[in-house]
Structure 1
Amino acid sequence: MKINFDKTEGLVPVIIQDSKTLEVLMLGYMNQEAWDKTQAEGKVTFFSRSKNRLWTKGEESGNFLYVEDTHIDCDNDTILIKGTPVGPTCHTGSRSCFKTNYNQNFIFELEKIITDRYDNPAEESYVNKLRKKGLNKIAQKVGEEGVETVIAALAETDEDFVNESSDLMFHLLVLLKEKGKSLADIGINLEGRHIKKL
């Protein structure tokens, strides 16, 4: 579909969404030139109404927004960009320009942290210490935490159950990373199972 810039006097609203968590990060505007530059460079460029010029997000702060996917709405006058943020998106230093509850999506951030620990190992990092022990130990930890989660569910407090479930999820994320898999792989698999049962 072709964006209808004429319909909205040359500017269209652009919603930026985190490609992993789907959290809405910000809203900006683009003209044809900003849209073309965004597509060519793979970094989000807006038309700044206050500066009256093109403005690449992160051009001063370094907190760029890298484009992963783009969608145009049914009226051809609004753009949705799913992207990967580098650092906070908001000029206030917040992750999002909207006060959304990010806690529910922290699991995706944790996956990024684990990946960073693999890419940039640090001696004091628990992930690094666990990784050095190898696949068998990582898998064993998932088994141990799974058993402890079951015990907590059956015989301990709700707080204990949440804590043990958190330990299980963390170690499962490390195991996924060790096996070269991700939460996205799990999501795709679960979606496929769901579709087959419809």
Structure 2
Amino acid sequence: MNAPWALPLEELRFNPDGLIPAIAQDWLDGAVLMLAWMNRQALAQTLASGQVHYWSRSRQELWHKGSSSGHFQHLKAIRYDCDADVLLLSIEQQGGIACHTGARSCFYGSGNQISSGGAAALPPPVDACTELARVIQGRLKDPEPGSYTNKLLEGGDNRILKKIGEESVEFVMACKDNAPDQIAAEAADLLFHLQVALAHHGVSWRQVQEVLAGRRDAPRREN
């Protein structure tokens, strides 16, 4: 695979050990998954193959991420910071696990208690819509007395779809009134109820994100 990424390699600022930190970020929800190091060889391999390679400081060797676990990282985009001494990798994480403990992200520590990570580790911060989807999924799994979300879910399609219809009309009316604040508020209400419907039908928010991302490079419609 010939990667389509071009970097000013001679302008990047590697440290005295010939390394540059690389932050891996989920390409859809923006979650920060891990930080590791690259040398020039690791960066060259990454750009050439489209799969992320790092330099292991502990083993002093090139590290093809996922070669032993199967959790490969597929490069979607790459940027460098204003000082050209840090890389930001936008990646698709195969298997959904970036951390060696089995956690989605290496950044699961919070508070004054050290966690051992793993599948039950605290999930990483994400965008507001993905966080909302997490909350709704939590209500679906563990209903909370008095929760409006649970009332909707208990009412099934009849209640959920009725609310989507109502919120859609309110959004349209806000647009007709050209009221920016109200448009934003009604859009938020509509997105919330759409997400409840998705959860009710077992469709994840990530599936929606993947569809949207897949349309970026789709052929343009004629009309």
TM-score normalised by structure 2 residue count: 0.53
Counterpart residue number, 2:201: 179
Deviations along 1:53-111, one digit per CA (max 9) or x if unpaired, are xx9965x5227376xxxxxxxxxxxxxxxxx97156xxxxxx5xxxxxx7xx2111111
Q: Which residue of 1 aligns with 2:99?
A: 44
Tell me: CA distance 1:31–1:190, structure 2 relative to 1, closer, same or farther (3 Å): same
Could you tell me how far apart the structure 1 residues matched to 2:218 and 2:122 are? 37
Q: Which has the higher helix share?
A: 1
SS in 1 for 2:172: helix
Q: Quote the residue 2:88 is aligned against.
A: none
User: Given the alignment of the two structures, is residue 62 of structure 1 paired with residue 115 of structure 2, yes or no?
Assistant: yes
What does residue range 10-159 of structure 1 map to in structure 2 within 5 Å?
A: 13-18=21-26, 20-24=28-32, 27-28=35-36, 30-31=56-57, 40=69, 44-45=99-100, 58=109, 61-62=114-115, 64=117, 86-87=122-123, 95=125, 105-155=127-177, 157-159=179-181
Runs of 5+ in structure 2 lacking a partner? 1-15, 38-55, 72-96
Question: What's the counterpart of residue 76 of structure 1?
Answer: none
SS in 2 for 1:27: strand
Deviations 1:5-54 (A, max 9, x none): xxx96987452424651244663454466x79x855956259xxxxxxxx
Distance 1:162 1:169 in 2: 10
Q: How many residues align?
A: 153
Instruction: Provide the residue aligned with 2:85 in structure 1.
Output: none
Query: How far apart are 1:193 and its partner, in Å?
Result: 4.4
- 3-state SS of paired residue (2:25): strand
User: Which residue identity is paired with 1:160?
Assistant: Q
Q: 1:186 to 1:45 in 2, by over 3 A?
A: closer
- Secondary structure at the counterpart of residue 180 of structure 1: coil
Quick check: 119-128 or 163-172, which moved more? 119-128
Q: Percent identity?
A: 32
Task: Give 5+ residue unaligned stretches, structure 1.
Answer: 1-7, 47-54, 67-83, 89-94, 96-101
Kindly provide the amino acid, as one letter, of the partner of residue 99 in structure 2: V
Partners of 2:178 and 2:108 in 1: how far apart?
48
Q: Output the CA distance in 2 between the equivalents of 1:17 and 1:183.
A: 18
For residues 104-140 of structure 1, what are the alpha-carbon distances to aligned partners after superposition, in whole Å with 9 as ceiling and x for unaligned?
x211111111111111111122111111111121111
CA distance in 2, matches of 1:162, 1:127: 20
SS in 1 for 2:35: strand
TM (norm. structure 1) is 0.58
Query: 2:202 aligns to what SS in structure 1?
Result: coil
Give the corresponding residue for 1:4: none
Question: Displacement, 1:144?
Answer: 0.8
2:164 and 2:107 map into 1 onto residues whose CA distance is 43
**Preserved contact between residue 25 and residue 34 of structure 2 (Cα < 8 Å):** yes
Deviations 1:141-164 (CA, angstroms, capped at 9, x unpaired): 111101100001112621111111
